[in-house]
Structure 1
Amino acid sequence: MKTLKHYSILTLLLIFSSCNVSPKPIEYGSDGCHFCKMTIVDKVHATEFITKKGKVYKFDATECMINYFDEFDTSEIELYLTNYFSKPEALTDATKATYIISKNIPSPMGAFLTAFENKSEAEKIQAEKGGKLYSWTELLAHFKD
């Protein structure tokens, strides 16, 4: 009976540890984009999302992640994360970021789309580089058009 109890506890621990919903660092130069299959090298534009079961999908650009939604049940996604302009390699909540589409800020897949941690940072860069600001919801709608 004691052995059965130990197996039950071990099984529960494995179940809970296998569903760890947390970001995983992007391995620049070796991780591949789930959408376009290119190697992720740009440390400003990479993104990832994590499912409710803890599986991580990585992308070389925000537009790749958004385009991948056509192939994926987004109700299964727990976290959306993006790199942002002022702190390359840092991940922030993509749903709270502000985005600029500006021909003066190139991105890996040619959408000229860049994420910023907050709106004030985005507005400052927009004043210098031009372009149009988008919230996460506005950006998703823009890509559906």
Structure 2
Amino acid sequence: MRTNFYKPFIGFAILLLTISCKTEPEAIDFGKDQCSFCMMNIVDKTHAAQYVTKKGKQFKFDSIECMVNDLSEKNEDEMPIMLVANYANPGEMIDAQTASYLISTAIKSPMGANLSAVSTTEKANELQQKYSGDIYTWQTLKQRLSDK
């Protein structure tokens, strides 16, 4: 008889644990959220970035290079979600590991790396034709930024 009394409480506890461990990204509140790396306000919808840890902790950045620098000290396997702003569609966040990147002095980014991301290699080629610069994958970008 007594176990029937506890069943609703056990179910509720399990529900709370499940909800509290979500690893979904929160939307960046542009103009209010601060960069987790350099502490500047995040205002640029074309260069922002973010990642979420396995435990659901949110880290938001004003530029892709801030996120890359922050991740250089961490284990990426602990970050199931890594997103970057899609330069071709401001405000849209895309997967950092599958995005294509362009470093071009013609496109200024908040921290001066002149780094932008787009969803496909074709889009990166279009941007390169328009603005010049060099195209990178996630792996080659991390290598390039770690060489500085």
CA displacement 1:78-123 (0-9 Å, x = unmatched): 1110111111010111111000011110000000000011110110
Q: Mind listing any 5+ residue stretches in structure 1 that lack a counterpart?
A: none
C-alpha distance in 2 between matches for 1:20 and 1:143: 31
C-alpha distance in 2 between matches for 1:123 and 1:85: 13
C-alpha distance in 2 between matches for 1:134 and 1:67: 16
User: Quick one: which amino acid aligns to residue 48 of structure 1?
Assistant: Q
Matched, 1:104 2:91: no
Look up the match of 2:136: 134
C-alpha distance in 1 between matches for 2:136 and 2:40: 26
Equivalences, count: 145
Query: Percent identity between the aligned chains?
Result: 39
C-alpha distance in 2 between matches for 1:31 and 1:94: 20
C-alpha distance in 2 between matches for 1:136 and 1:68: 14
C-alpha distance in 2 between matches for 1:95 and 1:111: 19
Look up the match of 2:7: 5
TM-score after normalising by structure 1:
0.95
TM-score after normalising by structure 2:
0.94
Look up the match of 2:53: 51
User: Quick one: which amino acid aligns to residue 40 of structure 1?
Assistant: I
Look up the match of 2:40: 38
CA RMSD of the aligned region, Å?
1.1
Q: Mind listing any 5+ residue stretches in structure 2 that lack a counterpart?
A: none
User: Quick one: which amino acid aligns to residue 26 of structure 2?
Assistant: K
> SS of the residue aligned with 1:82?
strand
**Offset of 1:71 from its aligned partner?**
3.8
* Matched ranges for 1:109-124 at <5 A: 109-124=111-126
Look up the match of 2:16: 14
Matched, 1:80 2:82: yes
**Offset of 1:72 from its aligned partner?**
3.1
